[in-house]
Structure 1
Amino acid sequence: MGQPLRIGLVGAGAISPAYLDTLTSLDGLELVAVADLVPARARAVLERVPTARVLEVGELLAAADVELVLNLTVPRAHAPVALQAIAEGKMVYGEKPLAATAPAAAEVVSAAERASLPLGCAPDTVLGTGIQTARKAIDDGQIGTPISATATMVTPGHEAWHPNPDFYYQPGGGPLLDMGPYYLSALVTMLGPVVRVSGAASRMRAERVIGSGPRRGEVIPVLVDTHVTGVLEHQGGVLSTILMSFDAVGSRASRIEVHGDRASLAVPDPNLFDGDVALRRLGGTGWEILPVSAGYLGAGRGYGIADLAAAGSARPPRASAMLAYHVLEVMERLLESGDSGGRLAVHSTVERPEPVPLQELPKRAG
């Protein structure tokens, strides 16, 4: 990969330690600066990376030695920070969603294209061995012709464990926008883009009670639908059924299943990078675990940055902004369909990212 990619981190909140694990372990990445609106959080990063500098956000975005801005701010700040970084000539990799709305995400994508700058976005879990091994099984014809898929995420709600769960129940929250990017990114990676959606949604309760932390027992309002279901029509005809809920207790169903005319495939949790992929063949007697055959071994949050760095100008990053933008529009259209009761077209599209051959990225010595 040549010289390490020099990275400036904006936003040192709860997700940042997972990214720091990757930034400090891979040979091709180097964290050189960090900024956060809470200076103590930025300074805490220096315990992991003492060579990094603590800067103000504007200073970091303009710093000459920062080549890529890792944008881990809150969702409403994703687009403003990305646009300012692009204006300063920086590559950007951000947490999901790419922006708070699809129109804002489109603006970020257009700005990066005009500046000829690579732009990546989480989730990069699709680059791990779990989803990539499943994709290879599909691409190799092991399930025959793909017919349908199911994606299921069921939980009674994050207020049971999260000390400040308000944002999950405010506009921009809800189970689909919270967890949907993992499931939809996996479905698009395996089966291709979505062209139409049909959705329905409901809201079981008008209030939730915080179950942990200093605000335990506090009642918060629910302003969004908390149970979303729908059908996604993929280009080529595959139908995916999706269920995202903060209202139900749990599910024994596989997180994702893909069905073909010759076999069915059980796909591991798309919020993780690995996990067993199981296949049940037509006429077979049970499920068989497939050997790991594709993806980045030992991957973690931030491998999408390493993939972007390795791509250079040869190909788009696999955890691309276009994939994130398409997924965001699919989710918004699904929610609109739930409100209107209609079957709605998805206007954006995206090429399936290139598959990831089975490989291990170079690790830093020591």
Structure 2
Amino acid sequence: MFQPNFTISAATATALMAIEADRQAIIELPIHADVLAALRETARLAGTHYSTRIEGNRLTLAQVAEVIAGNHFPCRERDEAQARNYYRALEQIEALAAAGGSITELELRGVHGLVMSGEWTPTPYRSGQNVIREAATGRTVYLPPVASDVPELMADLFEWINTRLRASDLPAPLIAALTHCQCATIHPYDGGNGRTARLLTTLVLHRAGYGLKSIYSLDEHYARNLNGYYTALTVGPSHNYYLGRAQADLTGFLNFFCDSIPGPPLRTVPRRRGRPHTRHQTWRRGRHSPTARSSPTPNSRALSRERGSHRLGDRHTSRNQPAHGKHPDTQLDCRGLHRNQQPFPEQAHLSPTSTPWAPRLTKSTSERAREESISSAPRRRTASELVCPAT
């Protein structure tokens, strides 16, 4: 059976404690069903964009959303198919996670079929040797195991995954990280290995109870830290699987992976008179120092003093202004948390004007009637006017 070589470092232990606190906060967070559905949809779009971008897809996040909605772009057929296939695979991962039970090789092979062809067709493992080369120089970066060893290695990996999940003797984020690393190391297919490994990692997290309501995307962290991602995956003294790669120390990848799981995305604050029952704030806290989660940043302190404001990721918007000048109907990319389709009640009164995405305050009928009654009523004279009337 698969026996990974790793050490739980101080940085990993700190990140694991923070992840557990984040998980509990998100579990207890009340989110309206419509808002949750919007957040999940935006996370799926972000995951599709960033995971395919790692593989060279040229579509932007906005274009991915258009493709999923049924639109097309000239000369982008390959990129469009890749995005649609990955989006369907993400939907299938959520369905498999909800089904529960053990994770099987058949599920992985079906997911790979979705990634490559858009259809749930379990694909066989590769029958020949593949080589990962550097695009610019052609230099061999990694030589995976031979095809005849792949079925046994994959069977050992899935036996290890299910044993660890049942025993709960290892933190779930570490099980997911080691699964990702080993699947990428085996490289069981001729193509689509990276996307399939990332999808399998997501499935492991969901089955272990660390899906975090499906409102974040690990793929964004990988894409934004691509050099770190590849460096963390490149372990061992040799590029050859049989010359030390199989027994390599995976501690570095564990550190990278645990830093990719985001902090709590939402916080509710008590109701104030005349305002909605809840007001949501979002923030992103770094994990690069142990004190980053316990000490608020100066920006967050300033934000807490400013009533009626939101923080979306690293971005601030006032209560009556959409983020970055965009209308609330658009996708907001927020580094680990994504939202769309007017997620908050306070933004319901915003509407576009002739200027794209320009907000406009609209008044209700009762407010206009009250203002008209006030303006038409006779002005009450002050005490000085009553004593000394104007001449």
Q: TM-score, normalised by structure 2?
A: 0.26
The structure whose residues are more often strand, as a share, is: 1
Larger C-alpha radius of gyration, 1 or 2? 2
Higher relative contact order (CA 8 A, sep 6+): 1
The structure whose residues are more often helix, as a share, is: 2
Q: TM-score, normalised by structure 1?
A: 0.27
